[in-house]
Amino acid sequence: MESDVSRPLPVPKPRPFPIVGVAPGPRCGQTLTAVAGPDGDLSKARLILFGGATALEGSSGKGVEAPVSPGPVGAGIRLAGATNDVHIFDVRSGKWEKITPLGEPPSPRAAHAAAAVGNMVVIQGGIGPAGLATEDLHVLDFTDPERPRWHRVLVQGAGPSARYAHTLSLVANRFLVAMGGNDGKSTLGDAWALDTSEKPYQWRKITDAGEMPSPRMYATAAARGDGLLLLCGGRDAGGTPMGDAYGFARHRDGRWEWHAAPGAMPTGRYQHGAIFVGNRLHISGGAVGGGRMVDEATATVVLDTNAGQWVSPAPVATPNSEDLGRRCRHAVASVGPFVFIYGGLKGSQLLEDLLVADDSNGAELSVFDPRAQPWVQWMDATHGNATAAAMLAKAAQEEAAAAQALSVRRVGAMDDMSGINEQIGSIERANRLNESPVGRSSPDLTLSRGQASPTTPDVRLWHRAVVVHQENSLRGLVRQLSIDQLDNEGRRVGVYDGKDKSPLFTRSMSNAGTHKRVINELLRPRTWKAPEDRHFFLNAQDIGELCDNAERLFRDEKTVLELHAPIKIFGDLHGQFGDLMRLFEEYGTPSTAGDITYIDYLFLGDYVDRGSHSLETICLLLALKIEFPKHIHLIRGNHEAHDINALFGFRLECLERLGDDQGVWVWRRINDLFNFLPLAASIEGKILCMHGGIGRNIHKIEQIAAIPRPVTMEDGGPILMDLLWSDPTTNDGVTGVQPSPRGPGLVTFGPDRVKDFCKNNGLQMIVRAHECVMDGFERFAQGHLITLFSATNYCGTAANAGAILVLGRDLVMVPKLIHPVPPDAPRTPDSTGNIDDDGSHPSGPDTWMQAINDERPPTPPRGRPHLPGSSLEYF
């Protein structure tokens, strides 16, 4: 990366926030951490300022026992007045507030480190009047915003020793990573990680991660949204400023890796600030030794990790224009596109200003008065959900009371996963000891190895399913049931007799584009609402851009994808966008604020038709594919074909919502894209996923892989027809190949076909979709095949649950279910045909698709009889 001065960053005179409320006052060596509001509402974000030094020795700090932080700051300057005060800045009101949290606070300190973990701030290390602070983790918990509380976290085993001038970051929304600093004896070059999803908590020292950076203190570390941590600058053991940068990330196989960033900062520095806004790492201020700070020309630099360039601002001859970066030991945080800088040290002066800079256009940094238009417009745009947030807060209280009454627990996606992993771990340990876990009532579903490698575990279906409570008022409450307790899933299972390493700096997140707009507009699991007028927010040109970008990705993929665990698998969605949002809300979201950095997503087709929001569904999935091309995977279903979705709703939806001309063009363009979709996916070489099944003609995976793309249904022949249209027989007792009730030429295949196919291809399981099943998933062939369906209450009549399968790294597969929203609950965005009490269909903009469903009824759920005279109209 070479310094690029051809794109100067204008640095106009900064005008700090006017002081409102009880401000922290002059200080340096403090931390500033951004905590989002309820449901991630950035307009209600708060900046949490903790600790710092409030005086210089010999000034207003008389009487302080000892200097806070020895070492060169300026000529003869030593700090004093360490504090453990907590101040909160409300970004919406611009008001400071000093708070006194409940619980025992950490000791006064500065040069400590902090990181936000959800609605908590974690504090570690630092140095105070009595010397080094303890190595304990202190957590400031804002779960109850009105009653914040301090906790001390118990961590098992050895961890980072007491230290100061180190870094602490949350990586991939899961790992606390502490690096470097000084333990009072020497400058350190170690790195430690704590997995917040594992209990009991324990630090693990990271070794074997490639070339480690040299020891340093007063460096910065900032985490990019996709889990890449950037360590920049610092001071080495001899006091020399450093200008290097290192990327640090965790691969999905558990390995950590260091990688030196090409190039160097325009000026080496320490005691600086750094924060990411999107892909751009903003570095401000810093010291260069000898009592000097960075010069004005390089006081603010930006590392554009997409372009791979350091960008330096050109000098701007305006009064006080150096205020943004001509400081050290200050604190930096970001909210949305805005960078906040508080306080610091400038020469022999402690600062107390709060500056805000705008990076919303991703091309330049503008410092402005917070009362100016960029701030006002952004706040107006992000504060539209204030009423919804208040309702959610009230609902959370009601849920807590309901949870206590029902003896079920309220968990987030991360807590849910960690709890399951703990229980799975006990089961796996029992299996290794040939013991049976206590309370296990279901049969052993361990599958035979076939020809799979003995060096990796067998695929296993976990004996319990995770179920979200079906009552709308209790959403977010989950319980775990034995899969044998489910009403429908086990009825038809009879006794059957017969990872790539990628360079860290190629992990850059995508450039801005239409897909970013789609994600921002649609990926809102709690707050998305269907437009009342049915207008779709994209036009044909936007959708065409999505298709062009996604098609380039699909062209480069294999017909049979080769994927790895951990991965989530989704069945049919059929335009029921509200169900997709519920699944994301309950079980994790494919975003950098969710779990995309450590688990892949696989969708098994049938994205469109039947439901009333096919455009939202397919456009969001394409946008996610563009944003996370290596971790979002889409394969083709039978409804991804023009002759089918012309009849079952997608074409009509395009016309209704985009107009006739644009609608027809969009419908054709998306169907052209469908011809490029991969047709199947292999996971760890042990699980084959497809939409329909193996039918009569498919005997080897190579037959699927040999199908050229793009391919239409007409050109795909019997292999493609079987792959997208065939079903298992009604139960394990019906073997062979039978005619399908779906229509002439289609077949069902028995458990013997499944067994032979798995044996001949070295597989342990087939996962497919295509059929509505009452519990959202259903076993067949003694558990060697699973049917998965993710849309609830299919077509408004089936009353089925929806499910996903979560496959962990240990190849244990966990079903996770949601139930239909009850008919008397508020209408959900995809309630396309719920039946009112009087037996009629509810009126409203979301029910227009019902006419198609009435005219062409869906295939009944598995196990229910087909209507007389059923034909290919039943899909």
Q: Which residues are catalytic?
A: 639
Q: What is the DSSP letter of 156?
A: B
Q: Could you give the CA distance from residue 298 to residue 294 in angstroms, rounded to a whole number?
A: 7
Beta strands in 598-735 (DSSP E): 600-603, 632-634, 680-683, 687-689, 727-728
Burial of 512 (0-12, 13-18, 19+ CB in 10 A): middle
Contact by Cβ (8 Å): 435, 669: no
For residue 200, say if its preceding peptide bond is cis, omega within 30 degrees of 0: yes
Q: Counting every residue, how long is the chain?
A: 875
Half-sphere exposure of 345 toward its Cβ, with a 13 Å CA cutoff?
29
In this structure, how many other beta carbons lie within 10 angstroms of the beta carbon of residue 394?
10
Q: Could you give the CA distance from residue 687 to residue 237 in angstroms, rounded to a whole number?
A: 52
* Helix-then-strand count for the chain, H and E: 14, 49
Q: Could you give the CA distance from residue 562 to residue 791 in angstroms, rounded to a whole number?
A: 26
Tokens of 420: 């399951």
- DSSP secondary structure string for all residues of 63-127: T-SS-SS-S-SSTT--EEEEB--EEEEETTTTEEEEE--BSPPPPSBBS-EEEEETTEEEEE--E
SS3 at position 669: helix
In this structure, how many other beta carbons lie within 10 angstroms of the beta carbon of residue 204?
16
Helix (H) or strand (E) holding 128: strand 127-128
Q: Could you give the CA distance from residue 548 to residue 537 in angstroms, rounded to a whole number?
A: 18
**Which residue in 26, 826, 16, 854 sits closest to 473, CA to CA?**
826
Beta strands in 130-266 (DSSP E): 131-132, 137-141, 149-153, 167-171, 175-179, 191-195, 203-205, 220-223, 229-232, 245-250, 256-260
Q: Could you give the CA distance from residue 538 to residue 663 in angstroms, rounded to a whole number?
A: 11
SS3 at position 765: strand
Half-sphere exposure of 6 toward its Cβ, with a 13 Å CA cutoff?
3
Give the residues across from 281 on adjacent strands: 276, 303
Q: Could you give the CA distance from residue 517 to residue 514 in angstroms, rounded to a whole number?
A: 5
- DSSP secondary structure string for all residues of 335-357: ETTEEEEEEEEETTEEEEEEEEE
C-alpha distances out from residue 524 to 224, 338, 509, 582, 726, Å: 21, 21, 19, 10, 35
For residue 710, say if its preceding peptide bond is cis, omega within 30 degrees of 0: yes
